[in-house]
Structure 1
């Protein structure tokens, strides 16, 4: 479902959450900020952005209401 903190750091090249958020925003990757201040990135968002055609393992889907 969500990428691990290590995966987000690997994707962005940054360990500091504020720098990760800045990079994700600049690159137009969708994310939400958790109560801990860390960006939460859906794995499927990254896979689709990077051109994956293989669907990932079926997992519960996050629905944002509002």
Structure 2
């Protein structure tokens, strides 16, 4: 699928459950939000899981502080 969502194998490894109903119960107990697709599979956002488990997000990285070019005002 996409790197945006966890794969079925990743959900299985995280929950240590095979049956979808048991995976749903485990995800809820861990506070992981998910959606059920029309085919019955689970859609779990990778970024949400990383946030819940405390992984630093890319947006949290320090960005360069930009300063105005004051010398350009005196030209």
Q: Give the TM-score normalised by the residue count of structure 1.
A: 0.75
Distance 1:29 1:54 in 2: 17
Larger RCO, structures 1/2 (Cα 8 Å, 6+ apart): 1
Report which of the two structures shows the higher radius of gyration computed on alpha carbons: 2
Aligned length: 56
What RMSD over aligned residues (CA atoms) do the two structures have, in Å?
Answer: 1.5
Q: What is the TM-score of this pair, normalised by structure 2?
A: 0.67
1:19 match: 22
The equivalences for 1:47-58 within 5 A come to 47-55=50-58
Question: For 1:55 and 1:8, how far apart are their aligned partners in 2?
Answer: 22
The 1-side partners of 2:57 and 2:37 are apart by 28
